[in-house]
Amino acid sequence: MQESRRTFLAWLTGVIAAVIAVLAGVPLLGLFVAPALKRSKELWVDLGPVGKVPENEPTPFTFSYEGATSWLQTMVSGTAYAVRRPGEGIYVLSNICTHLGCPVHWEDELRRFRCPCHGGDFDIEGKVVSGPPPKPLPRYAFRVAKGMLQIRIEPG
């Protein structure tokens, strides 16, 4: 009789531990797996009226959107430069230096984008002119909708 009571209590303890593990494990597993399985929808962010972009003058536009990573939602903001080139149309450049991620700015007197951190220079098309940046400034995919210039934000 003593042996069967010990066997029963050991079995009962194992069952209770398994139930607790499942009850705690399933939500935790879902917390980490669900974002990977979730399809990200395309996000287009307004910059401003396309008519505000003059020829050959990089025009800064600030933007913000609500970003989400897993369970955390935050406001993300940034700056993009729209450039209208005669005969080429418009393109939109990121203001993030490809060296270490510092924000670049347009210096009209030099006709270059300058990175204040390590002296990187980019031309009006975002190509590296001098300094340590390994690649040109990234370009945003963009569209014009109802007269508003919009950029596509890549999820993640």
> Which pTM does this prediction carry?
0.70
Contacts of 55 (CB under 8 A, 6+ apart): 84, 85, 86
Q: Find the helix or strand (DSSP H, E) in which 18 lies.
A: helix 2-37
Query: Pick from 128, 144, 145, 134: which is nearest to 82 by CA?
Result: 144
Q: What is the pLDDT of residue 156?
A: 56
CB 75 within 8 A of CB 68: no
Q: What is the pLDDT of residue 104?
A: 93
From CA 113, how far away is CA 95, in angstroms rounded? Answer: 9
CATH of 43-153, one of 3.30.70.360, 2.102.10.10, 2.40.100.10, 3.40.50.970: 2.102.10.10
Q: What is the pLDDT of residue 123?
A: 93
Q: What is the pLDDT of residue 40?
A: 60
Q: What is the pLDDT of residue 151?
A: 92
pLDDT tens for the chain, 156 residues: list them. 567 888 888 888 988 998 898 888 887 777 777 666 665 677 899 898 988 888 889 999 999 888 766 567 788 888 999 999 888 889 999 999 998 889 999 998 989 999 988 888 999 999 999 989 899 999 999 999 888 999 998 765
93-108 as b/e: b if 16+ CB within 10 A: bbbbbbbeebebebee
> Largest Cα–Cα distance in the chain?
95
